[in-house]
Amino acid sequence: MTFDILIRNGIVADGTGLTEPFSADVAIQGDRIAAVGCLPDARAERVIDARGHVVCPGFIDVHVHCEPALLTGNHRFAGVVQGITTMLLAPDGFGWAPLPPDLRGQMWEYTRFIAGSANVDLTWETIEDYLNLFPGNSPCNVYPQVPHCAVRLNVCGWSAGPASDTQIDAMADLVRQWMEAGAGGLCLGLDYQPSANSDLRELVELCKVAASYGGIYAAHIRNHILGRAEAWKETFEIYRQSGIPVHHSHERADREGAELLDLAAREDIDLSFESYLYPAGMSHMTIMLPVEDQVGAPSVVLEHLADPAAKKRILPHLRGWLGACNQVVGHTRSGRYIGATLSDLAASAGVAPEDFAYDLILEEEGQSTYIFPWQDTPEINEDTIRNTINHPRVMIASDGVYNVRHPHPRGFGCFARVPGVFVREKGLIPLAEAIFKMSGFPARRFGLADRGEIAAGKAADIVIFDPKTVNATATFENPTGGPVGIPWVLVNGKPAVEGGVPTGALPGRVLRRNAMPAS
């Protein structure tokens, strides 16, 4: 039989996590895997010799700030060269539809810390108009989630305080529209505006709608850095009252996290989480401010922060926040201070760190990020990573940001690091299990029944990598370095990467939810 593409002599890690890697050929017809096994009589228009290479399902990044990169073309291929074949939209609940033009523009300005200076034509009106921007602009598939920030902004504006019954009903209708459009679930960033203004009642009611479609609740929880325990309790209550499966973004199994994960298991909470496995995070500098001082459109917040009385009141709060770790400046609008610690910059300026941080937020018009290292010893951090990657409820996600001046290296190296560092170099996890956490598990959990597995009939999203050389080169000093050892990536049966280099093809599609989330 003749196929379109035949991958010969590969070591197949099938994405299930249940089967040891095995030698096999993989035949592709159109956008589907047609056969897997010993296929000596098969012929194909194109044959890929995968001898000595792992053949596995395309990786699924469930938390990545990909929209600005895909829509502007800047670093558009940073994910697919790592083997990422599907990216979920609306991480942290950020999104721009459906919104009227003024609020759409304000949300784009608010998210400049992920969009950088890039601009797109913000003229879409409907959910489908927005989703239709991605085919022809993306080398990998995208999978929508309900962007809670946009949903709340549409109905409540930037206002603080709990939503009324009428407003909750209106938000529920927007959630319903997104779920009808095939969204995988409801995604939130409860440290970000305007989602931070929501209360438990609002979240439960919206989750009931998403749950009725088989969706999942995926959240950057409140007080993510300084107050996890209370935020986890909120998640537990959302699960109990709505029945929706729950998922935490960029978590880790450090001592506190492991205790909370054990508590979730004891209380039968259907919870999963993801991690990027770097011992440092990154976020928007304005989330260091008290929540009540973040409320409003970006221009309104900056005007408020310019008031000396506001600064006097906020500085003690900032002092406590900055005492948690020694933050490093990531992105700034002007390009100043990148890579320097806030404490060093403050000392050079002759002011306290909280004064410098406050003024920096104002001077950079809110367009600044900071990188914060984990505050444990290297040995404890290593234990945390070992415990995290081996936890049965974890999957891998990059939390990548691409368009800013100095991003976190996780966006450019997270997935290549897993087989390179954690499987080969450190031996922390078997290959089959690592592949499952990057493909089969996220596919099942987020409702992508035809992805995440090398099997006949499944989508032909495939990665071929050299287990002896695969790795990331991105570092905190050089965060945009590309991966090595990944010569081939196929998306919907089309080569998107050949010889480790993007082909320029843009075969990505908008995927729609096609299965109930499963454990």
Ramachandran angles phi, psi of 83, nearest 5°: 100, 5
Which CATH number covers residue 174? Answer: 3.20.20.140
| 315 closest CA partner among 362, 282, 272 | 362
Alpha carbons 394 and 274: distance in angstroms, whole number: 5
On whether the CB atoms of residues 430 and 423 are closer than 8 A, the answer is: yes
Q: Is 412 within a domain?
A: yes
What is the C-alpha separation between 224 and 230, in angstroms, rounded?
10
DSSP state of 195: G
Task: Please indicate, yes or no, if residue 209 is contained in any of the structural domains.
Answer: yes
Q: Do 172 and 242 belong together in one domain? A: yes
Q: At 23, give phi and psi (nearest 5°).
A: -80, 130
Domain assignment present for residue 106? The answer is yes
Question: Domain for residue 14, yes or no?
Answer: no
In a domain, 41, yes or no: no
CB neighbour list of residue 71: distance below 8 Å, 6 or more residues apart = 120, 133, 134, 137
Please count the structural domains in the chain. Answer: 2
Whether residue 32 is contained in a domain is answered as: no
Residue 140 placed within a domain:
yes
Same domain as 392, residue 254:
yes
Give the pair of three-digit tokens for residue 345: 């910059």
Both 361 and 427 in one domain: the answer is no
Residue 247's contacts (CB-CB under 8 Å, 6 or more residues apart) are 62, 185, 216, 217, 218, 219, 271, 272, 273, 274, 445
Q: Indicate if 442 and 404 belong to the same structural domain.
A: yes
User: Which range of residues forms the domain containing residue 179?
Assistant: 59-279+375-502
- Strands 368-373, 328-332: pairing kind: antiparallel
Q: What are the pLDDT tens digits along the chain (519 aa)?
A: 899 999 999 999 999 999 999 999 999 999 999 999 999 999 999 999 999 999 999 999 999 999 999 999 889 999 999 999 999 999 999 999 999 999 999 999 999 999 887 788 899 999 999 999 999 999 999 999 999 999 999 999 999 989 999 999 999 999 999 999 999 999 999 999 999 999 999 999 999 999 999 999 999 999 876 678 999 999 999 999 999 999 999 999 999 999 999 999 999 999 999 999 999 989 889 999 999 999 999 999 999 999 999 999 999 999 887 865 678 899 899 999 998 999 999 999 999 999 999 999 999 999 999 998 876 777 788 899 999 999 999 999 999 999 898 899 999 999 999 999 999 999 999 999 999 999 999 999 999 999 999 999 999 999 999 999 999 999 999 999 999 999 999 999 999 999 999 999 999 999 999 753 433
SS3 per-residue string spanning 205-246 = HHHHHHHHCCCEEEEECCCCCCCHHHHHHHHHHHHHHHCCCE
DSSP bridge pairs for 18? none
> Mapping DSSP to helix (H, G, I), strand (E, B) and coil, where does residue 368 land?
strand
Alpha helices in 333-420 (DSSP H): 342-349, 353-363, 378-389, 410-417
Residue 432: C-alpha distances to residues 39, 204, 441, 446, 509 (Å)? 23, 36, 12, 20, 27
Number of neighbouring beta carbons within 10 Å of residue 176? 16
Question: 31: Cβ–Cβ under 8 A, 6 or more apart, which residues?
Answer: 459, 460, 492, 493, 494
